[in-house]
Amino acid sequence: MRLGSIKENLKIEQRIAVTPEIIRKYKSLDLSIILPKGYGEHLGVSDQEFIKEGAEILDDDNKVLSEADVVLQMNLIAEENFEKLKNEQILIGVLNPYSNKEKLKKLLDKKINCFSLELLPRITRAQSMDILSSQANLAGYKAVVDSFAYYQKAIPMMMTAAGTIPAAKVLIVGAGVAGLQAIATAKRMGAIVYATDVRLASKEQVESLGGKFLVVEGSENLETEGGYAKEASEEFKQKQENLIKETLKKIDIVICTALIPGKKAPLIIKKDMIEVMQSGSVIYDLAASQGGNSELTKVNEIIDYNGIKILGDSNILNKLPNSASNLYAKNMFNFVSNLYDKENKKININLEDEIIEKTQIK
Distances (CA, A) of 336 to 39, 103, 128: 20, 23, 12
Per the residue annotation, which of 47, 122, 188, 353 is the catalytic one? 122
Question: How do beta strands 282-285 and 253-256 pair?
Answer: parallel
In this structure, what is the dihedral angle of CA atoms 85, 89, 95, 99, given to the nearest 10 degrees? Answer: 60
> CB within 8 A of 114, min separation 6: which ones?
90, 91, 92, 95, 104, 107, 108, 360, 361
**Pairing status of strand 340-341 against strand 308-311:** unpaired
How many CB atoms neighbour CB 184 within 10 A? 19
List 5, 73, 133, 294, catalytic entry: 133
Compute the distance between CA of residue 95 and CA of residue 179 in angstroms, rounded to an integer. 24
Known catalytic membership, residue 127: yes
CA-based nearest residue to 230, from 257, 259, 206: 259
Query: Residue 231 has what DSSP assignment?
Result: P
CB 181 within 8 A of CB 136: yes
Half-sphere exposure of 27 (CA within 13 A, CB side): 14
Is 197 annotated in the active site? no
CB 194 within 8 A of CB 173: no
Selecting among 99, 127, 208, 238, the annotated active-site residue is 127
Rounded to whole angstroms, the Cα distance separating 227 from 167 reads 33
Active site residue: 15, 89, 130, 284, which one? 130
Rounded to the nearest 5°, which phi and psi values hold at 174? 100, 115
Residue 244's SS3 state is helix
User: Hey, is 216 helix, strand or coil?
Assistant: coil
User: 257 and 284 in contact (C-beta within 8 Å)?
Assistant: no
Altogether, the residues listed in the chain come to a count of: 362
Is 30 tagged catalytic?
no
- Give the residue numbers marked as catalytic: 122, 127, 130, 133, 228
